[in-house]
Amino acid sequence: MGIGLGLIGTGFMGKAHALAYRNARAVFGDLPQVALVALCDMPASRAKTMAEQLGFAEAMEDWRALIMHPAVDIVSITTPNGLHREMALAALAAGKHVHCEKPLALTLEDARKMEVAACEAGVRTMVGYNYIHNPAIAHARKLVAEGTIGQAVHFRGWVDEDYQADPDLPWSWRAKRADAGLGTLGDLGCHLVSMSQILMGPIESLIADTQIIHDTRPLPDDSSRAKVENEDTASAIIRYASGAQGTLCSSRSAWGRKNKLDWELHGTEGMIAFSQERLNELHLYTNEGPAARQGFRTILTGPEHPPYGAFCPAPGHQLGFGDLKTIEAAAFLRAIASGAPVFPDFTDALSIEAVIHAIDVSAREGRRVTL
């Protein structure tokens, strides 16, 4: 029967998880078969509709029943942030492998509890930082490790979207710390931190500032306005353990930006640049040869950049967001089958979330924070 999957949540990321697990073995071949055992959502009518659409054998409303289902080996959690902790702890206690979307939890304290529980449970965990599974990013890491741009000395990254740019957008749970936790840092900034740390290593300290652009938003019934409690923008000056420095900036209120996760990595002998909105391209500059012929060159990902070739034998035909999630799911399945380490697990994710919460603390207390 293979490995049994139980999926909690059927929104944007729920569908992405379902498709990724359905496609992983077909793409890579060397993976165990995945049985789509059960899907959970509310109301029951939606769960039934989505189970039929996505190919799950059972539909249910009770996520606890899904976790205790004897045929479920992996619990995939794609619910709003505030539900992650309770669901993940229950799944770990039941001895299930857990694939949880980021962030782990609303608070760093809760994320630590989840990480401890995962270590004690002795099961495998994975957190949904799918952008770092891009073949282009793997190639960038290889270039850095080989010294192609010399010593890495500065990282400049930003991640912007405009889903909260409209001041008349109704108030929702995303604006409340008790339900959403951090704002742009929890939604977007954590992705940038994950990218920064796999390229530059751990962050040693930082100093930061944040901003709430729209202090209040209209309630859905338009009767009054409610306070926005978490940040729309965040900026941090970073010092890495290696001695390198950098800047990280994030906004959920940047008009016109849809998924602008961009970065530049500066080295002593060149630099690398990347933009998530053009996720199949990497830009490389090396300080070599006659000055008149120097310039950036675009590296277009293809079969020479694993695991691109598992999807398509021809360069320039492009991978997409869903393919990155398939690579992520495949890595998790391979780790479960082999016992090999997987990245990022709950321990890795905790280090990422420690950074975004340090940015929040620095901004609120007006001081440099050491991690």
Q: What pLDDT shows up at residue 75?
A: 98
pLDDT at 185: 98
What would the mean pLDDT of 19-38 be, rounded to a whole number? 97
Q: Dihedral through CA 191, CA 192, CA 197, CA 202, nearest 10? A: -100
Confidence band of 341 (pLDDT split at 50, 70, 90):
confident
Name every residue whose Cβ is closer than 8 Å to that of residue 26 and which is 6 or more positions away in sequence.
none
Tell me the per-residue pLDDT of 274-285, one tens digit each, with 9 for 90 and over. Answer: 999 999 999 999
Q: What mean pLDDT value characterizes the chain?
A: 97
Specify the CATH number of the domain 132-370.
3.30.360.10
**Percentage of the chain modeled with pLDDT above 70:** 100
Distances in whole angstroms, Cα of residue 63 to Cα of each of 45, 99, 151? 15, 15, 48
Q: What is the enclosing helix (H) or strand (E) of 348?
A: helix 346-365
Instruction: Return the pLDDT at 223.
Output: 78
| pLDDT tens readout for residues 144-199 | 999 999 999 999 999 999 999 999 999 999 999 999 999 999 999 999 999 999 99
Q: Which amino acid is at 122?
A: G
- Count CB-CB contacts under 10 A for residue 90: 18
As a 3-state breakdown, the chain gives helix, strand, coil percent values, each rounded to 5, of 40, 25, 35
Number of C-beta neighbours around residue 297 at 10 A: 10
Overall pTM surpassing 0.85 (yes/no): yes
Q: Above 90 in pLDDT, residue 220?
A: no
Do 241 and 204 meet the contact criterion of CB atoms below 8 Å apart?
yes
Q: What is the mean pLDDT of residues 32-42?
A: 97
| pLDDT higher than threshold 80 for residue 35 | yes
Whether the predicted pLDDT of 222 surpasses 80: no
Q: Nearest Cα to 174, choosing from 221, 231, 225, 224?
A: 231
> 143 vs 95, 139, 293, 309, CA distance in Å?
39, 6, 21, 19
Helices (H) and strands (E) in the chain, counts: 12, 17
Q: How far apart are CA 237 and CA 155, in angstroms?
A: 10
pLDDT of 208 reads: 98
Over residues 233-262, the mean pLDDT reads 98
Q: What is the pLDDT of residue 212?
A: 98
Dist CA 349 CA 356 (whole Å): 11
In this prediction, residue 1 has a pLDDT band, given cuts at 50, 70 and 90, of low
Average pLDDT over residues 10-28: 97
Domain 3-130 class, CATH top level: alpha beta
Percent of the chain with pLDDT over 90: 96
Q: What is the pLDDT of residue 41?
A: 97
pLDDT confidence of 345, banded at 50, 70, 90?
very high
Cα–Cα distance, 307 to 76 (Å, whole number) = 23
Report d(CA 245, CA 155) in Å as an integer. 7
Provide the residue ranges of all domains of the chain, joining segments of one domain with +. Answer: 3-130, 132-370
The residues, any chain, with a CB within 8 Å of residue 260's CB and separated by 6 or more, are: 158, 159, 160, 161, 254, 275, 276, 277
